[in-house]
Structure 1
Protein backbone atom coordinates (compact mmCIF):
# COMPACT_ATOMS: atom_id res chain seq x y z
CA UNK A 1 0.00 0.00 0.00
CA UNK A 2 1.34 3.44 -0.96
CA UNK A 3 2.15 5.68 2.00
CA UNK A 4 -0.33 8.54 2.40
CA UNK A 5 2.70 10.77 2.97
CA UNK A 6 4.34 9.95 -0.38
CA UNK A 7 2.39 12.57 -2.40
CA UNK A 8 1.90 9.96 -5.11
CA UNK A 9 -0.10 10.96 -8.18
CA UNK A 10 1.55 14.39 -8.40
CA UNK A 11 4.43 15.34 -10.66
CA UNK A 12 6.01 17.67 -8.09
CA UNK A 13 6.24 17.31 -4.31
CA UNK A 14 7.63 19.04 -1.24
CA UNK A 15 8.61 17.97 2.27
CA UNK A 16 10.98 18.62 5.17
CA UNK A 17 14.24 17.03 6.28
CA UNK A 18 15.79 13.63 5.71
CA UNK A 19 12.67 11.72 6.79
CA UNK A 20 10.55 13.70 4.33
CA UNK A 21 13.08 13.06 1.56
CA UNK A 22 12.98 9.33 2.23
CA UNK A 23 9.18 9.17 2.18
CA UNK A 24 8.54 11.51 -0.76
CA UNK A 25 11.09 9.79 -2.96
CA UNK A 26 11.28 11.69 -6.25
CA UNK A 27 13.31 10.93 -9.34
CA UNK A 28 15.01 14.33 -8.92
CA UNK A 29 15.43 15.71 -5.40
CA UNK A 30 16.32 19.37 -4.87
CA UNK A 31 17.89 19.83 -1.44
CA UNK A 32 17.34 23.37 -0.14
CA UNK A 33 19.37 24.77 2.80
CA UNK A 34 19.39 28.51 2.14
CA UNK A 35 21.36 29.99 5.03
CA UNK A 36 23.99 27.28 5.06
CA UNK A 37 24.80 24.34 2.88
CA UNK A 38 23.23 24.88 -0.54
CA UNK A 39 24.14 28.56 -0.75
CA UNK A 40 27.72 27.59 0.11
CA UNK A 41 27.60 24.87 -2.57
CA UNK A 42 26.44 27.30 -5.26
CA UNK A 43 29.21 29.74 -4.35
CA UNK A 44 31.71 26.88 -4.56
CA UNK A 45 30.31 25.78 -7.93
CA UNK A 46 30.55 29.36 -9.20
CA UNK A 47 34.30 29.07 -8.57
CA UNK A 48 34.67 25.57 -10.01
CA UNK A 49 35.09 23.91 -6.60
CA UNK A 50 33.68 20.39 -6.22
CA UNK A 51 31.88 19.78 -2.91
CA UNK A 52 31.74 16.47 -1.05
CA UNK A 53 28.81 16.43 1.41
CA UNK A 54 29.51 14.86 4.78
CA UNK A 55 27.51 14.59 7.97
CA UNK A 56 29.99 15.21 10.76
CA UNK A 57 33.21 17.15 11.09
CA UNK A 58 35.17 14.52 13.04
CA UNK A 59 38.10 12.15 12.53
CA UNK A 60 36.17 10.23 9.89
CA UNK A 61 35.71 13.49 7.98
CA UNK A 62 39.48 14.05 8.09
CA UNK A 63 40.04 10.63 6.56
CA UNK A 64 37.29 11.26 3.99
CA UNK A 65 38.92 14.51 2.89
CA UNK A 66 42.31 12.83 2.63
CA UNK A 67 40.80 10.09 0.48
CA UNK A 68 39.78 12.64 -2.16
CA UNK A 69 42.64 15.08 -1.73
CA UNK A 70 40.10 17.65 -0.56
CA UNK A 71 40.12 20.53 1.89
CA UNK A 72 38.00 19.86 5.00
CA UNK A 73 35.86 22.84 5.99
CA UNK A 74 36.29 23.99 9.58
CA UNK A 75 33.49 25.18 11.85
CA UNK A 76 32.01 28.53 10.92
CA UNK A 77 33.00 30.11 14.22
CA UNK A 78 36.46 28.48 14.14
CA UNK A 79 37.55 29.83 10.75
CA UNK A 80 40.66 31.97 10.81
CA UNK A 81 42.35 33.85 7.97
CA UNK A 82 42.62 31.57 4.95
CA UNK A 83 40.32 28.87 6.39
CA UNK A 84 37.22 27.63 4.58
CA UNK A 85 33.99 26.88 6.44
CA UNK A 86 30.28 26.55 5.82
CA UNK A 87 30.31 30.33 5.42
CA UNK A 88 29.95 31.16 1.70
CA UNK A 89 32.05 34.26 2.29
CA UNK A 90 35.06 32.10 3.17
CA UNK A 91 34.49 29.95 0.07
CA UNK A 92 34.27 33.01 -2.15
CA UNK A 93 37.69 34.24 -1.00
CA UNK A 94 39.39 30.83 -0.81
CA UNK A 95 42.63 30.36 -2.72
CA UNK A 96 43.84 27.11 -4.23
CA UNK A 97 40.81 25.01 -3.22
CA UNK A 98 39.50 22.62 -5.87
CA UNK A 99 37.79 19.98 -3.73
CA UNK A 100 35.96 20.71 -0.49
CA UNK A 101 34.45 18.38 2.11
CA UNK A 102 31.60 20.39 3.60
CA UNK A 103 29.98 18.80 6.68
CA UNK A 104 26.63 19.98 8.01
CA UNK A 105 23.90 18.21 10.00
CA UNK A 106 21.10 19.32 7.69
CA UNK A 107 21.52 19.95 3.95
CA UNK A 108 24.83 18.12 3.65
CA UNK A 109 23.55 15.11 5.58
CA UNK A 110 20.42 14.89 3.45
CA UNK A 111 22.41 15.05 0.22
CA UNK A 112 24.87 12.41 1.41
CA UNK A 113 22.13 10.05 2.61
CA UNK A 114 20.29 10.32 -0.72
CA UNK A 115 23.39 9.61 -2.78
CA UNK A 116 22.76 5.87 -2.94
CA UNK A 117 19.01 5.90 -3.53
CA UNK A 118 19.04 6.20 -7.32
CA UNK A 119 17.56 9.70 -7.24
CA UNK A 120 19.29 12.60 -8.98
CA UNK A 121 20.18 15.05 -6.21
CA UNK A 122 20.78 18.75 -6.85
CA UNK A 123 21.65 21.64 -4.54
CA UNK A 124 19.22 24.56 -4.75
CA UNK A 125 19.24 27.94 -3.06
CA UNK A 126 17.66 31.30 -3.78
CA UNK A 127 20.80 32.14 -5.76
CA UNK A 128 20.23 29.43 -8.40
CA UNK A 129 16.53 28.60 -8.21
CA UNK A 130 15.83 29.69 -11.80
CA UNK A 131 18.83 27.86 -13.24
CA UNK A 132 17.94 24.72 -11.30
CA UNK A 133 14.32 24.79 -12.45
CA UNK A 134 15.37 25.26 -16.06
CA UNK A 135 17.78 22.32 -15.78
CA UNK A 136 15.09 20.11 -14.23
CA UNK A 137 12.54 20.94 -16.93
CA UNK A 138 15.05 19.75 -19.53
CA UNK A 139 15.72 16.54 -17.63
CA UNK A 140 12.13 15.68 -16.76
CA UNK A 141 9.60 17.29 -19.10
CA UNK A 142 6.92 15.20 -17.40
CA UNK A 143 7.29 17.41 -14.33
CA UNK A 144 4.99 19.83 -16.11
CA UNK A 145 2.21 17.25 -16.02
CA UNK A 146 0.95 14.69 -13.56
CA UNK A 147 2.88 12.01 -11.72
CA UNK A 148 2.91 8.39 -12.72
CA UNK A 149 0.81 7.29 -9.75
CA UNK A 150 3.92 5.85 -8.15
CA UNK A 151 5.79 8.89 -6.86
CA UNK A 152 6.51 12.51 -7.81
CA UNK A 153 9.01 13.13 -10.57
CA UNK A 154 10.54 16.12 -8.78
CA UNK A 155 10.69 16.82 -5.05
CA UNK A 156 11.99 19.87 -3.19
CA UNK A 157 13.24 19.11 0.31
CA UNK A 158 13.59 21.99 2.76
CA UNK A 159 16.44 20.97 5.06
CA UNK A 160 15.41 22.99 8.09
CA UNK A 161 17.53 23.43 11.20
CA UNK A 162 17.76 21.70 14.60
CA UNK A 163 16.47 22.58 18.03
CA UNK A 164 18.86 21.88 20.95
CA UNK A 165 17.16 18.51 21.52
CA UNK A 166 17.97 17.47 17.95
CA UNK A 167 14.43 17.72 16.60
CA UNK A 168 13.69 19.43 13.29
CA UNK A 169 13.16 23.19 13.38
CA UNK A 170 11.33 24.18 10.17
CA UNK A 171 13.29 27.14 8.79
CA UNK A 172 11.21 29.64 6.82
CA UNK A 173 14.14 30.55 4.56
CA UNK A 174 14.23 26.96 3.29
CA UNK A 175 10.49 27.09 2.67
CA UNK A 176 11.03 30.23 0.57
CA UNK A 177 13.92 28.68 -1.32
CA UNK A 178 11.99 25.49 -2.09
CA UNK A 179 8.93 27.48 -3.07
CA UNK A 180 10.95 29.72 -5.37
CA UNK A 181 12.39 26.70 -7.15
CA UNK A 182 9.00 25.00 -7.43
CA UNK A 183 7.39 28.18 -8.73
CA UNK A 184 10.00 28.39 -11.49
CA UNK A 185 9.18 24.84 -12.65
CA UNK A 186 5.94 26.25 -14.13
CA UNK A 187 4.23 22.95 -13.35
CA UNK A 188 0.50 22.33 -13.11
CA UNK A 189 1.09 19.08 -11.18
CA UNK A 190 2.07 20.37 -7.74
CA UNK A 191 1.05 18.43 -4.67
CA UNK A 192 -0.83 20.42 -2.00
CA UNK A 193 2.40 20.58 0.00
CA UNK A 194 4.30 21.94 -3.00
CA UNK A 195 1.56 24.51 -3.63
CA UNK A 196 1.89 25.72 -0.03
CA UNK A 197 5.64 26.22 -0.51
CA UNK A 198 5.04 28.18 -3.73
CA UNK A 199 2.46 30.35 -1.96
CA UNK A 200 4.97 31.15 0.79
CA UNK A 201 7.52 32.23 -1.80
CA UNK A 202 5.06 34.30 -3.81
CA UNK A 203 3.93 36.12 -0.67
CA UNK A 204 7.49 37.21 0.19
CA UNK A 205 9.45 37.34 -3.08
CA UNK A 206 9.39 41.14 -3.40
CA UNK A 207 11.12 41.60 -0.03
CA UNK A 208 13.23 38.46 0.28
CA UNK A 209 16.57 40.13 1.07
CA UNK A 210 14.91 42.07 3.90
CA UNK A 211 13.01 39.05 5.20
CA UNK A 212 16.10 36.84 5.11
CA UNK A 213 17.84 39.20 7.49
CA UNK A 214 14.78 39.45 9.74
CA UNK A 215 13.79 35.77 9.95
CA UNK A 216 15.05 33.67 12.88
CA UNK A 217 17.88 32.07 10.89
CA UNK A 218 19.05 35.42 9.55
CA UNK A 219 18.97 37.01 12.98
CA UNK A 220 20.90 34.07 14.41
CA UNK A 221 23.71 34.38 11.85
CA UNK A 222 23.81 38.16 12.28
CA UNK A 223 23.99 37.78 16.06
CA UNK A 224 27.05 35.56 15.68
CA UNK A 225 28.76 37.94 13.28
CA UNK A 226 27.82 36.39 9.93
CA UNK A 227 25.51 39.01 8.44
CA UNK A 228 27.60 38.86 5.25
CA UNK A 229 26.56 35.22 4.80
CA UNK A 230 22.91 36.26 4.89
CA UNK A 231 23.64 38.85 2.21
CA UNK A 232 25.15 36.16 -0.02
CA UNK A 233 22.10 33.94 0.51
CA UNK A 234 19.95 36.90 -0.55
CA UNK A 235 21.59 37.12 -4.01
CA UNK A 236 18.35 35.92 -5.58
CA UNK A 237 18.74 34.49 -9.12
CA UNK A 238 22.36 35.66 -9.44
CA UNK A 239 23.90 32.23 -10.07
CA UNK A 240 23.44 30.03 -13.14
CA UNK A 241 25.10 26.94 -11.67
CA UNK A 242 23.30 23.65 -10.96
CA UNK A 243 25.36 21.48 -8.59
CA UNK A 244 24.52 17.80 -9.23
CA UNK A 245 25.51 14.96 -6.90
CA UNK A 246 27.39 12.17 -8.69
CA UNK A 247 29.55 9.56 -6.92
CA UNK A 248 29.35 11.49 -3.67
CA UNK A 249 30.44 14.77 -5.25
CA UNK A 250 28.42 17.89 -6.03
CA UNK A 251 29.83 19.47 -9.15
CA UNK A 252 28.72 22.12 -11.61
CA UNK A 253 26.55 20.53 -14.29
CA UNK A 254 27.14 21.57 -17.90
Structure 2
Protein backbone atom coordinates (compact mmCIF):
# COMPACT_ATOMS: atom_id res chain seq x y z
CA UNK A 1 0.00 0.00 0.00
CA UNK A 2 1.32 3.46 -0.95
CA UNK A 3 2.18 5.65 2.02
CA UNK A 4 -0.27 8.56 2.42
CA UNK A 5 2.73 10.72 3.31
CA UNK A 6 4.59 10.15 0.02
CA UNK A 7 2.70 12.86 -1.92
CA UNK A 8 2.37 10.42 -4.81
CA UNK A 9 0.54 11.59 -7.89
CA UNK A 10 2.05 15.08 -7.75
CA UNK A 11 4.92 16.34 -9.86
CA UNK A 12 6.28 18.55 -7.08
CA UNK A 13 6.50 17.77 -3.37
CA UNK A 14 7.70 19.30 -0.12
CA UNK A 15 8.54 17.98 3.33
CA UNK A 16 10.79 18.38 6.38
CA UNK A 17 13.98 16.82 7.67
CA UNK A 18 15.65 13.45 7.06
CA UNK A 19 12.48 11.43 7.68
CA UNK A 20 10.43 13.56 5.29
CA UNK A 21 13.22 13.29 2.74
CA UNK A 22 13.04 9.51 2.95
CA UNK A 23 9.24 9.31 2.76
CA UNK A 24 8.67 11.83 -0.05
CA UNK A 25 11.03 10.41 -2.62
CA UNK A 26 11.99 12.47 -5.65
CA UNK A 27 14.32 12.25 -8.63
CA UNK A 28 15.41 15.89 -8.32
CA UNK A 29 15.68 17.06 -4.73
CA UNK A 30 16.44 20.56 -3.48
CA UNK A 31 17.84 20.49 0.05
CA UNK A 32 17.28 23.77 1.88
CA UNK A 33 19.20 24.70 5.04
CA UNK A 34 19.35 28.50 4.96
CA UNK A 35 21.15 28.99 8.29
CA UNK A 36 23.59 27.83 7.24
CA UNK A 37 24.60 24.70 5.26
CA UNK A 38 23.12 25.44 1.83
CA UNK A 39 23.98 29.13 2.09
CA UNK A 40 27.57 28.13 2.90
CA UNK A 41 27.62 25.77 -0.07
CA UNK A 42 26.43 28.44 -2.49
CA UNK A 43 29.11 30.83 -1.21
CA UNK A 44 31.75 28.13 -1.63
CA UNK A 45 30.69 27.25 -5.15
CA UNK A 46 30.54 30.96 -6.04
CA UNK A 47 34.27 31.00 -5.21
CA UNK A 48 35.13 27.82 -7.10
CA UNK A 49 35.33 25.63 -3.98
CA UNK A 50 34.07 22.04 -4.14
CA UNK A 51 32.15 20.93 -1.05
CA UNK A 52 32.05 17.39 0.35
CA UNK A 53 29.05 17.02 2.68
CA UNK A 54 29.60 14.81 5.70
CA UNK A 55 27.38 13.75 8.58
CA UNK A 56 29.74 14.13 11.52
CA UNK A 57 32.72 16.19 12.60
CA UNK A 58 34.81 13.44 14.20
CA UNK A 59 37.78 11.16 13.49
CA UNK A 60 36.02 9.69 10.47
CA UNK A 61 35.61 13.19 9.06
CA UNK A 62 39.36 13.76 9.43
CA UNK A 63 40.03 10.61 7.41
CA UNK A 64 37.39 11.59 4.86
CA UNK A 65 39.02 14.99 4.33
CA UNK A 66 42.43 13.35 3.87
CA UNK A 67 40.94 11.01 1.29
CA UNK A 68 40.02 13.98 -0.91
CA UNK A 69 42.94 16.22 0.05
CA UNK A 70 40.35 18.65 1.41
CA UNK A 71 40.15 21.03 4.34
CA UNK A 72 37.85 19.87 7.14
CA UNK A 73 35.65 22.69 8.43
CA UNK A 74 35.95 23.32 12.16
CA UNK A 75 33.10 24.06 14.52
CA UNK A 76 31.71 27.56 14.14
CA UNK A 77 32.59 28.49 17.71
CA UNK A 78 36.07 26.97 17.37
CA UNK A 79 37.08 28.92 14.28
CA UNK A 80 40.11 31.16 14.68
CA UNK A 81 41.72 33.53 12.23
CA UNK A 82 42.02 31.80 8.86
CA UNK A 83 39.90 28.80 9.85
CA UNK A 84 36.88 27.74 7.81
CA UNK A 85 33.64 26.61 9.43
CA UNK A 86 29.95 26.29 8.62
CA UNK A 87 29.92 30.10 8.77
CA UNK A 88 29.50 31.43 5.21
CA UNK A 89 31.61 34.44 6.17
CA UNK A 90 34.66 32.25 6.88
CA UNK A 91 34.26 30.60 3.48
CA UNK A 92 33.98 33.95 1.75
CA UNK A 93 37.21 35.09 3.43
CA UNK A 94 39.13 31.88 2.70
CA UNK A 95 42.24 32.09 0.54
CA UNK A 96 43.63 29.24 -1.55
CA UNK A 97 40.81 26.84 -0.68
CA UNK A 98 39.65 24.43 -3.38
CA UNK A 99 38.06 21.49 -1.52
CA UNK A 100 36.09 21.61 1.73
CA UNK A 101 34.54 18.86 3.85
CA UNK A 102 31.54 20.50 5.48
CA UNK A 103 29.84 18.49 8.24
CA UNK A 104 26.32 19.48 9.24
CA UNK A 105 23.78 17.52 11.28
CA UNK A 106 20.89 18.74 9.15
CA UNK A 107 21.42 19.91 5.56
CA UNK A 108 24.65 18.01 4.94
CA UNK A 109 23.28 14.80 6.40
CA UNK A 110 20.09 14.99 4.34
CA UNK A 111 21.94 15.81 1.12
CA UNK A 112 24.28 12.83 1.52
CA UNK A 113 21.40 10.54 2.50
CA UNK A 114 19.42 11.42 -0.61
CA UNK A 115 22.40 11.27 -2.96
CA UNK A 116 23.39 7.85 -1.62
CA UNK A 117 19.82 6.78 -2.38
CA UNK A 118 20.16 7.72 -6.04
CA UNK A 119 18.49 11.13 -6.20
CA UNK A 120 20.01 14.13 -7.96
CA UNK A 121 20.54 16.59 -5.12
CA UNK A 122 21.07 20.33 -5.30
CA UNK A 123 21.76 22.85 -2.55
CA UNK A 124 19.21 25.66 -2.45
CA UNK A 125 19.11 28.79 -0.35
CA UNK A 126 17.50 32.19 -0.63
CA UNK A 127 20.64 33.29 -2.48
CA UNK A 128 20.18 30.95 -5.45
CA UNK A 129 16.49 29.98 -5.44
CA UNK A 130 15.80 31.41 -8.91
CA UNK A 131 18.94 29.95 -10.51
CA UNK A 132 18.14 26.56 -8.98
CA UNK A 133 14.57 26.67 -10.27
CA UNK A 134 15.78 27.51 -13.77
CA UNK A 135 18.24 24.61 -13.66
CA UNK A 136 15.55 22.18 -12.53
CA UNK A 137 13.22 23.27 -15.34
CA UNK A 138 16.02 22.57 -17.82
CA UNK A 139 16.46 19.09 -16.33
CA UNK A 140 12.73 18.45 -16.70
CA UNK A 141 12.90 19.08 -20.44
CA UNK A 142 15.21 16.05 -20.64
CA UNK A 143 13.38 14.03 -17.98
CA UNK A 144 9.72 15.13 -18.12
CA UNK A 145 8.58 12.31 -15.84
CA UNK A 146 10.88 13.27 -12.96
CA UNK A 147 9.44 14.25 -9.60
CA UNK A 148 10.82 17.38 -7.94
CA UNK A 149 10.94 17.61 -4.14
CA UNK A 150 12.09 20.39 -1.85
CA UNK A 151 13.23 19.34 1.62
CA UNK A 152 13.44 21.94 4.36
CA UNK A 153 16.20 20.68 6.66
CA UNK A 154 15.01 22.34 9.85
CA UNK A 155 16.96 22.40 13.09
CA UNK A 156 17.00 20.32 16.28
CA UNK A 157 15.63 20.90 19.74
CA UNK A 158 17.77 19.81 22.68
CA UNK A 159 15.95 16.48 22.82
CA UNK A 160 16.92 15.76 19.21
CA UNK A 161 13.46 16.28 17.75
CA UNK A 162 12.94 18.31 14.60
CA UNK A 163 12.48 22.05 15.01
CA UNK A 164 10.82 23.38 11.86
CA UNK A 165 12.84 26.48 10.97
CA UNK A 166 10.85 29.18 9.19
CA UNK A 167 13.89 30.31 7.19
CA UNK A 168 14.05 26.86 5.57
CA UNK A 169 10.32 27.02 4.83
CA UNK A 170 10.89 30.38 3.12
CA UNK A 171 13.89 29.09 1.19
CA UNK A 172 12.03 26.02 -0.03
CA UNK A 173 8.91 28.03 -0.80
CA UNK A 174 10.93 30.61 -2.72
CA UNK A 175 12.48 27.90 -4.85
CA UNK A 176 9.15 26.19 -5.45
CA UNK A 177 7.49 29.48 -6.35
CA UNK A 178 10.22 30.22 -8.88
CA UNK A 179 9.71 26.79 -10.48
CA UNK A 180 6.37 27.90 -11.91
CA UNK A 181 5.18 24.33 -12.40
CA UNK A 182 1.72 22.85 -12.18
CA UNK A 183 0.63 19.71 -10.33
CA UNK A 184 2.01 20.65 -6.91
CA UNK A 185 1.08 18.84 -3.71
CA UNK A 186 -0.87 20.69 -1.00
CA UNK A 187 2.30 20.73 1.13
CA UNK A 188 4.16 22.36 -1.75
CA UNK A 189 1.50 25.02 -2.16
CA UNK A 190 1.64 25.77 1.56
CA UNK A 191 5.42 26.32 1.39
CA UNK A 192 5.00 28.61 -1.62
CA UNK A 193 2.35 30.61 0.20
CA UNK A 194 4.67 31.01 3.19
CA UNK A 195 7.37 32.51 0.97
CA UNK A 196 4.99 34.73 -0.99
CA UNK A 197 3.63 36.14 2.28
CA UNK A 198 7.05 37.51 3.31
CA UNK A 199 8.92 38.00 0.03
CA UNK A 200 8.61 41.79 0.16
CA UNK A 201 9.90 41.87 3.75
CA UNK A 202 13.06 39.86 3.28
CA UNK A 203 15.83 40.20 4.37
CA UNK A 204 14.47 42.01 7.45
CA UNK A 205 12.40 39.06 8.60
CA UNK A 206 15.33 36.70 8.23
CA UNK A 207 17.17 38.72 10.87
CA UNK A 208 14.08 38.73 13.10
CA UNK A 209 13.12 35.04 12.92
CA UNK A 210 14.31 32.66 15.65
CA UNK A 211 17.21 31.28 13.60
CA UNK A 212 18.42 34.75 12.65
CA UNK A 213 18.19 35.98 16.21
CA UNK A 214 20.04 32.90 17.45
CA UNK A 215 23.00 33.41 15.11
CA UNK A 216 23.11 37.11 15.88
CA UNK A 217 23.04 36.39 19.61
CA UNK A 218 25.95 34.00 19.19
CA UNK A 219 27.94 36.68 17.38
CA UNK A 220 27.38 35.80 13.71
CA UNK A 221 25.18 38.57 12.27
CA UNK A 222 27.28 38.52 9.06
CA UNK A 223 26.13 34.97 8.37
CA UNK A 224 22.50 36.06 8.54
CA UNK A 225 23.26 38.97 6.22
CA UNK A 226 24.84 36.61 3.67
CA UNK A 227 21.88 34.22 3.90
CA UNK A 228 19.64 37.22 3.20
CA UNK A 229 21.32 37.98 -0.15
CA UNK A 230 18.14 36.97 -1.95
CA UNK A 231 18.68 35.94 -5.60
CA UNK A 232 22.28 37.21 -5.68
CA UNK A 233 23.88 33.87 -6.60
CA UNK A 234 23.67 32.13 -9.95
CA UNK A 235 25.43 29.01 -8.66
CA UNK A 236 23.55 25.71 -8.55
CA UNK A 237 25.58 23.24 -6.47
CA UNK A 238 24.93 19.65 -7.55
CA UNK A 239 25.98 16.65 -5.44
CA UNK A 240 27.58 13.84 -7.42
CA UNK A 241 29.94 11.13 -6.16
CA UNK A 242 30.18 12.84 -2.79
CA UNK A 243 31.14 16.24 -4.23
CA UNK A 244 29.07 19.40 -4.55
CA UNK A 245 30.16 21.59 -7.44
CA UNK A 246 28.69 24.17 -9.80
CA UNK A 247 26.36 22.67 -12.40
CA UNK A 248 26.99 23.46 -16.04
Deviation string for 1:179-210 (max 9, x for gaps)?
Answer: 00000000111100000000000000001111
RMSD of aligned C-alpha atoms? 1.2
Cα distance in 2 for residues equivalent to 1:142 and 1:21: 24
Answer yes or no: is 1:171 the counterpart of 2:159: no
Structure-2 residue corresponding to 1:11: 11
| Residues 1:248 and 2:248 are matched in the alignment | no
What is the 5 A alignment of 1:125-136? 125-136=125-136
Structure 1 residue 6: Cα displacement: 0.5
**2-structure distance, mates of 1:154, 1:103:** 25
SS in 2 for 1:14: strand
TM-aligned CA deviation for residue 116 of structure 1? 1.6
3-state SS of the aligned residue for 1:199?
helix
Q: What residue ranges of structure 1 are gaps of 5+ in the alignment? A: none
Shift of 1:141: 3.6
Partner in structure 1 of residue 87 of structure 2: 87
1: CA distance, partners of 2:77 / 2:54 = 18
Task: For residue 128 of structure 1, report the CA deviation from its aligned partner.
Answer: 0.2
How far, CA to CA, are the matches of 2:183 and 2:48 in structure 1? 34
CA distance in 1, matches of 2:128, 2:5: 28
TM normalised by structure 1 equals 0.96
Q: Deviations over 1:53-73 (max 9, x none)?
A: 001100000000000000000
Matched with 2:205 is 211
Secondary structure of the residue aligned to 1:235 is coil
Match of 1:73 in 2: 73
The CA deviation at 1:142 is 8.7
Alignment partner of 1:115: what SS? helix
Kindly indicate whether the alpha-carbon contact (under 8 Å) linking 1:142 and 1:153 is maintained by their aligned counterparts in 2. Answer: no
> 1:91 & 1:172 partners in 2: Cα distance?
24
* Structure 2 residue 217 is matched with structure 1 residue 226: no
Give the CA deviation at 1:36.
0.8
User: 1:165 deviation in Å?
Assistant: 0.6
Residues 50-109 of structure 1, C-alpha deviations (whole Å, 9 max, x = no match): 000001100000000000000000000110000000000000010111000000100000
> Aligned residue for 2:152?
158
Runs (4+) of structure 1 moved beyond 6 Å?
none
